[in-house]
Amino acid sequence: MNKRQKTLKKLAGQKVLFFMIIPCMIYTFIFSYYPLSGWIMAFQNYKPAKGYSGSTFVGMDQFMFLFKDVEFWRSVRNTLAMSLLNLVFSFVFAIVFALLLNEIKSLGLKRITQTVSYLPHFLSWIIVCSLVSNMLSTNDGMINNFLMGIGLIDKPVLWLGEQKYFWWVTTFSNVWKETGWNSIIYIAAISGIDQALYEAAELDGASRFQKMWHVTLPGIKSTIVVLLIMNLGWVLNASFEVPYILGSGLLQDVSQTIDIFVLKYGMSIGNYSLATAAGIFKSVISLALVFGTNAIANKLGESSLM
């Protein structure tokens, strides 16, 4: 009784909060949850011409098609490998870049470096990949020329023809294109750190690196953790374009990702149901990953999403 009254009172005190949030929840329901009724097509052999009601139900067939195919599991492995490499390296590079940038004293140099660094984000992957491919060429490619010039190798390496290099090529292509863009949020987070903390640290005689380690990093830690958890949820979605553009028959075993697999066997041959089934599979894994890591972060006393 008492408890309920308390809750009611609490609710009453929060009516403004609910007034702010409820319309947004309704909106989200309409735009995100309601269309999920379309997931029904994953259990059908859906034909746009027949609609949901006219298409035949096939139970779990679409899922079975995926799960029974060795190629699919290989795609899962490739996707995970490339996404995780990419996640780790893009985080590390973006954070280190943001930290170093923060140390630049000259405002002009700082601004220029920052502005220049995010330019590649605006180029399409087709453009970036074609530059990557030219640089890695055995035929007068910049990388091979350089490595031969300093004597590390004595004949050109076929970077894009050997499976063992491919994941690294995709990872560093990504680092090249997105580091500047990814660092923006950290730069913002760093500038949100209370200057008083630095002053205090200075009084304590902290060195530059000590300040980075004990003030700056903790100051952006919550941002890092939150972004990391959220991005972890997308590991199965990531890495579509680069492997798609740079991959070739020789590399198929390491370059085919889930999305490429679904493209070939789903959309390209008009199988919307398969694409939907794969989407559901990815959603389930994503949610498990996000809520799992979130719980772990909570346990560790880190900041988390919820």
Partner 1 sequence: MKKIWKIRIGKHSLGDITFHTVNGIIMFFIAVIMIYPFWNTIAVSFNDAQDTLRGGITLFPRVFSLYSYESVFKNKLMGTAAVNSVLRTVISTVLGVLVGSMIAYVLSRRELVGRKFITGYFLVTMYISAGLIPNYFLIKNLGMLNSFAVYIVPGLVSVYNIIVIKSFMQSLPDSLSEAAMVDGAGHFRCYWQIILPCCKPVLATIALWCAVGSWNQWFDTFLYASGADHLTTLQYEMMKLLSSAMQSGRDNSSIFGNGQQMANTITPTSIRAAVTIVASVPILVVYPFMQKYFVKGVTLGATKE
Partner 2 sequence: MKMKKLCAILMACGMVLSLAACGGSGKDTQPTQGAAQNEAEAEDTKEADDSKDQQAAEGAEDAAGEEAGESAGDAQAAGASDENIYGGLVPMEDADDPITYTFFVRDPGTVPADNNPVIQKITELTGVTIKFEFLVGDLDQKLGVMIAGGDYPDLIFAGDAGTKLRDAGAFIPLEEEIPKYPNLNAMYGDVLKYLTQADGHVYDMEIYGTFQNDVTEVAPPFECGIGFYIQKAVLEEAGYPEIKTLDDYFKIIEEYKEKYPEIDGVKTTGFEILADGWRNWALLNPVQNLLGAGNDGAMFVDQNTFESSFFQNGDDAHAFYLKLNEEYQKGIIEAETFTQNYDQYISKITTGAVLGFYDQNWNFQSAQDLLKNDGKYERTYVAVPIANPGVQDAYLDKSNGIPSGTNGVGISINCENPERLLRFFDWLLQREVQDYLQWGEEGTDWVRSADGGKELTPERRAIWYDTAKKRDETGFTLWNYCPKWQGLYTSDGMPCGTGESPDEFLASQSDYDKGFLNGYGIKYPAELMSDPVLRAPYYPVWALPLEDGSPAAVANTKITDVTMKFYPRLILAKDEAEYESIWADFLKEFNAIDLDALKTEIDRQIAEKMAK
Residue 249: contacted member of partner 1, partner 2, none (CB under 5 to 8 Å, by partner type):
partner 2
Residues 233-262 that bind partner 2 (CB under 8 A): 240-241, 244-245, 248-250, 252-253, 259
By C-alpha distance, which of 62, 32, 56, 60 is closest to 278?
A: 62
By CB under 8 A, tell whether 100 contacts partner 1. Answer: yes
By CB under 8 A, tell whether 107 contacts partner 1. Answer: yes
Looking at residue 140, the DSSP 8-state letter turns out to be T
End-to-end CA distance of the chain: 29
Residues 108-127 that bind partner 1 (CB under 8 A): 109-124, 126-127
Residue 250: contacted member of partner 2, partner 1, none (CB under 5 to 8 Å, by partner type):
partner 2
Distance of alpha carbon 149 from alpha carbon 154, whole angstroms: 9
Residues 71-100 that bind partner 2 (CB under 8 A): 71
For 96, other C-beta atoms within 10 Å of its C-beta total 13
With CB under 8 A, what is the number of residues at the site for partner 1?
Answer: 92
Residue 253: contacted member of partner 1, partner 2, none (CB under 5 to 8 Å, by partner type):
partner 2
Distance of alpha carbon 172 from alpha carbon 105, whole angstroms: 28
Stretch that binds partner 1, among 18-26, 53-61, 157-165, 243-251 (CB under 8 A): 18-26
Residues 168-227 that bind partner 2 (CB under 8 A): none
By CB under 8 A, tell whether 164 contacts partner 2. Answer: no
Exposed/middle/buried for 300, CB within 10 Å: 0-12, 13-18, 19+?
Answer: exposed
Residues 60-89 that bind partner 1 (CB under 8 A): none
By C-alpha distance, which of 69, 71, 35, 73 is closest to 52?
A: 35
Cβ(120)–Cβ(132) under 8 Å?
no
- 56 beta partners: 45
- Residues whose CB falls within 8 Å of the CB of residue 38, separated by 6 or more in sequence, listed in order: 52, 276
Residues 132-151 that bind partner 1 (CB under 8 A): 134
Stretch that binds partner 1, among 25-33, 67-75, 84-92, 157-165 (CB under 8 A): 25-33
Exposed/middle/buried for 277, CB within 10 Å: 0-12, 13-18, 19+?
Answer: buried
Give the SS3 label for residue 14. coil
| Rounded least distance, CB 275 to partner 2, Å | 8
Residues 192-211 that bind partner 1 (CB under 8 A): 192-196, 207-208
By CB under 8 A, tell whether 188 contacts partner 1. Answer: yes
Question: What Rg, from alpha-carbon coordinates, does the chain have?
Answer: 25
**Contacting positions for partner 2 (CB under 8 A):** 45, 47-49, 51, 71, 124-126, 130, 133-134, 137-139, 158, 160-161, 240-241, 244-245, 248-250, 252-253, 259, 263-275
